[in-house]
Amino acid sequence: MLASHERKVTLMSDPADDRPDDDQSPDEASSPWSGRPEDGIAELLRQAGIPVEEGASLEDMLSQLAHQMVSQLKRRADLAGSGSQPVTWKAAKEAAHQQVTQLGSDPAPTSEQQRQVTDAAHLVDLWLDEHTAFPRLATVPVAWSRTDWIDQTMPRWQSMIEPVISTIAAGLHSAMSQRLAEADQVPELAELSDVLQPILRQAADGMFGARLGRELGRIAADIVTATDSGFPLTDQAQVAILMTNLLAWARDLELPETDVLLYHASRESARQRLFHDVAWIGPQLIALVQHYAREIRIDPDALSIAIEQAVPREVTAEAVSQFEIDINTAMFDPAKTTEQVAILERLETLIALVEGWVDHVTGQATQDWMPSAVALAETVWRRRAARGPAADVFATLLGLTIRPKRLREAEAFWGRLLALTDVDGRDEVWNHPDRMPSAEDLTDPDGFLERRRSGVSDDPLDAELRRLLADEPPAT
């Protein structure tokens, strides 16, 4: 293939080249750079281990160099496609463990702490039984270290990040293929397009795997329970308390450790009951995040500019870290697609409904037993307003900002439904995802309940179908 390129590059001759050999200085005569300019380039290529024939033209050498690049990249592509995934996520877990170690002590829970968690979970179950229709869990409550949380939740985080990695790799491949297609002066480079895809996938794996590990390490040092992030991140519904973090929070609040433990055990038990008994919520939340990630669009021109601007002038740990943040941010087109806007609306509403229900039920269950429950609820609200590490991970890795703006509306919504019906009537709303309240319904619980009872929907398509069936004139 390479031998077919017989075009020669005509170079202007230097009058000095016409001198007889005996007119050249001793240094020139012995230098590998003497003679044609191509000879110097040929010598450099030979020193790099690339064979070059005597008398080869500049174009022949460029073709030989391109051929060598393609061969090396093909070998890398074969390695990249031979099971790199487990290594990537193993590295992510190791990065998370390392981050946890850097952020402070992470002792394994003691047997006494395990007993405290078990007793607290059993007590709050008695409180919750009166305030929710969802039954208590059959699993054993557990006390976790920060490392335990990382190990238990990593598979779910991986499933949410995988679509991002695929999208980023595909976007970079498309951008580079376009650039290579423009390099028609060296036809061999066109071969790189097919070769680059697995290599770019491996690069995206490494970049996002390591980043995810560091972010999860930060989250693990901040959260108190397994599902503090609002997502069902464990394989089974189970009350799990990170005792190191809970004790640190109790010290900061200057409240009794027992009160803090009971309050968070109530929240975790309520949320896990909901996730376990309403089986569609977890898959729906994960699916919405994955769908949002698949809609990410990469602007290659903006990315190129960002890389040029972000290159650090000096190599320090801080500069390299900031460079990675800048490039990661540039991966995402700040203009969301119409599809992403719709997905974000549904995701924010569903999270608000889940967390609003947890707030409402926890408040009902603890108000008669814990005088400090109101103060603890306010600390949860302040924490949400500050958008802690759990929210940051979605913004950093997905470009997805989840705002808790509807949480108070959702909590009031569930309280109003309880007043209009009863515990069973309120919790029955979760029975089917297609009949869940919309963002607009949160401000009109009475209207929502009336429409639900009558089977009437505000959906425009449903309204039009009802009009056609009733043979009514179209609305003006």
- Which of the two residues, 297 and 319, has the higher pLDDT score? 297
pLDDT band (50, 70, 90) for residue 200: low
Mean per-residue pLDDT for 211-237? Answer: 89
Please give the single-letter amino acid code of residue 68: Q
CA distance 165 to 204: 6
Q: Which residues of 240-267 are buried (b: 16+ CB within 10 A; e: fewer)?
A: bbbbbbbeebbeeeebeeebbbbbbbbb
**H/E run at residue 242:** strand 240-242
pLDDT digits 0-9 by tens, 74-90 = 554 454 444 444 456 78
The token duo for 161 is: 């990040």
What separation in angstroms does the CA of 3 have from each of 13, 40, 63, 195, 363? Answer: 26, 22, 9, 22, 79
pLDDT digits 0-9 by tens, 421-439 = 999 999 999 999 988 999 9
pLDDT at residue 460 tops 90: no
**pLDDT recorded at residue 304:** 62
pLDDT at residue 158 tops 70: yes
Least confident of 70-74, 394-398, 407-411: 70-74
**pLDDT recorded at residue 79:** 47
pLDDT band (50, 70, 90) for residue 142: very high
What separation in angstroms does the CA of 191 have from each of 166, 177, 180, 240? Answer: 21, 10, 9, 52
**pLDDT recorded at residue 269:** 98
Mean per-residue pLDDT for 154-164? Answer: 83
Please give the single-letter amino acid code of residue 323: F
> Residues for the chain: how many in total?
476
What separation in angstroms does the CA of 25 have from each of 28, 31, 51, 106, 152? Answer: 5, 10, 29, 73, 74
pLDDT band (50, 70, 90) for residue 29: very low
pLDDT at residue 258 tops 70: yes
**H/E run at residue 143:** strand 142-144
Least confident of 49-63, 114-128, 219-233, 460-474: 460-474
- Which of the two residues, 3 and 459, has the higher pLDDT score? 459
**pLDDT recorded at residue 25:** 45
pLDDT band (50, 70, 90) for residue 207: low
Q: What is the DSSP letter of 241?
A: E
Mean per-residue pLDDT for 134-149? Answer: 96
CA distance 354 to 143: 24
Q: What is the DSSP letter of 428?
A: G
**pLDDT recorded at residue 316:** 64
| Percentage, residues of the chain above pLDDT 70 | 59
The token duo for 427 is: 């919790």
CA distance 448 to 149: 38
**pLDDT recorded at residue 30:** 41
pLDDT digits 0-9 by tens, 357-399 = 999 999 999 999 999 999 999 998 888 877 666 677 777 666 6
CA distance 90 to 320: 23
**pLDDT recorded at residue 386:** 73
pLDDT at residue 408 tops 80: yes
**pLDDT recorded at residue 80:** 46
- On average, the pLDDT of the chain sits at 76
Query: pTM of this prediction?
Result: 0.73
pLDDT at residue 184 tops 60: no
pLDDT band (50, 70, 90) for residue 290: confident
Task: Point out which residues pair with 225 in neighbouring strands.
Answer: 241
Own/partner long-range contacts of 174-180 (Cβ < 8 Å, ≥24 apart): 174/298, 174/300, 175/298, 175/300, 175/303, 176/200, 178/300
CA distance 394 to 343: 14
pLDDT at residue 308 tops 70: no
CA distance 349 to 326: 30
The token duo for 175 is: 């951008």
When mean pLDDT is compared over 47-51, 63-67, 251-255, 293-297, the highest value belongs to 251-255
**Residue extents of the structural domains in the chain:** 2-80, 88-298+333-398, 445-476
